[in-house]
Amino acid sequence: MNIEDLLRETFSEMAYEQAPPPPDRFLRPRPARWHAGGLVLAAAAAVAVLSVGSFVVVQQAFPNGRHATGTSEAAPVVRPVAEMWPEAVRVVPKQLPNGQAFTPVLYLDKRSLLVRTGKGTSRDATVLWSYDLASGTAKQLVDFLPPPDTTYTSPVVMGDGYLAWWTISGARTSSVKGIWVVPATGGVASKIATSGRGFPRPAESVVVPSSVLAMRGVDTLAIAEGKVVWSDAGGGGVFTMPFGGEVPQRMPGTETLTLLRWPWAYPSGSSSSDITSVHNLKTGEVRTGPVDASLRCSITWCLGHQAGTRRRDGSGAHEMPGKQTLGPLLPALDRFAFLCVDTYRLVLYDMATRRGGDLGITVGQAMKAKVHFFRGDEVAERMMSLISYEAGGRQVVVDLTAIK
């Protein structure tokens, strides 16, 4: 069976599913109005209702970011994600050839996935595999046993031929953080950085809760320019370290900044709802605005109320299909949002191209823990490069980086 037939069969098996109860667990309440650069998106706007397959999409149409008048553009049809972005969607089994259930983590390259087996809990061993998409075979890369008393093991990031993650262990008042690296081709993970009490604290001007200082976990971890790059929870600067391990070096001028997504950082102490500026650590560029409590902005794109979106500079304001956003507080990869349409279907929406793809699952299925992208981890959600979920007895994998 080729990939087209497999996708068609998988999504057709989900068509009969009925809408679940109201998705209160995942919905973020929104005020009645959304203000964006003087543009008021209100209930008086034209509303287009479209029947799409077995569900209905409601979208308020604002052509070219302006309030609709007597004539408005038709709201776009939200097609199945595999039809909208066929180059980004793959269907894989739920188990490896050895019978172990696995979770997709990221793409190692166009032909293979990095997948994880194991319970996925902090104290248990995690085994990482390379899964060949063409042959369905798997090769074990890493067998990682966290240190004793580990309370958290982070998701894996990749760059420059390496994989990296971090752990935190011990009591809240004396926790120890470790940053681990291993070649993407496999091997034994090496701890290149360890810190506990006495690690550089945030600048005095940064207000950080004492509970955060006690844990001192990593906020954002990345690999760039041959080094591991990270910021600690609560701020304190952006640090770098070679793969071989040395003393962490704080990048000059970052004492009051926290890494958002390399090479961008934001003022430490900010929450996801008030990142009013972002700073490029390579070029020195600073992007400011908007000062609007109703917007949550990443580097380029902002999420607003009433499923509205716009760029940080105020351009590109428009309404997205549906009435609610779910999942990440900030746009995933700075451009993607997850929407709930009226019949509780989940839609992946690309703010940059104004296109959406129906994931073929409902919020009710998400409540049953069949999806792997509502993790409750804000950093992991905004950094994720793929999403995966169970459907029709298989796993659907959507590569966000392949969507152009």
The per-residue pLDDT string of the chain (404 residues; one tens digit each, 9 = 90 and over) reads 554 455 455 444 444 444 443 333 333 333 333 333 332 222 223 222 222 222 223 233 323 333 322 333 344 568 999 999 999 999 999 999 999 999 999 999 999 999 999 987 778 899 999 999 999 999 999 999 999 888 888 899 999 999 999 998 876 656 778 999 999 999 999 999 887 533 444 444 333 333 333 345 788 999 999 999 999 887 789 999 999 888 889 999 999 999 999 999 999 988 766 888 999 999 999 999 876 777 889 999 998 766 789 999 999 999 898 867 877 788 999 999 999 887 888 999 999 999 999 999 988 887 775 676 766 677 777 888 999 999 889 999 999 999 99
| Phi-psi region at 334: left, alpha or beta (left = phi > 0; alpha = psi -120 to 50) | left
Q: Which pLDDT score is estimated for 157?
A: 95
> 336 CB contacts (<8 Å, ≥6 apart)?
348, 349, 350, 351, 400, 403
The three-class DSSP label of residue 128 is: strand
Which residue type sits at 253? G
Write the DSSP string, 301-327. EEE-STTEEEETTS-S-EEPSSSEEES
Regarding beta strands 126-132 and 190-195, do their DSSP bridges make them parallel or antiparallel, or are they unpaired? unpaired
Q: Which two tokens stand for residue 183?
A: 């070649």
Tally: H helices and E strands in the chain: 5, 33
Identify the pLDDT of residue 374.
67
Residues 61, 255: Cα–Cα separation, whole Å: 44
DSSP code string of 322-386 = SSEEES-SS-BTTTEEEEE-TTSEEEEEETTTTEEEEEEEEHHHHHTT-BSS--S-HHHHHH-SE
Residue-level pLDDT at 176: 79
Residue 321, both tokens:
């299909």
Q: In 10 A of CB 224, how many CB atoms?
A: 16
pLDDT at 357: 96
Does the CA dihedral 264-269-273-276 come out positive or negative? negative
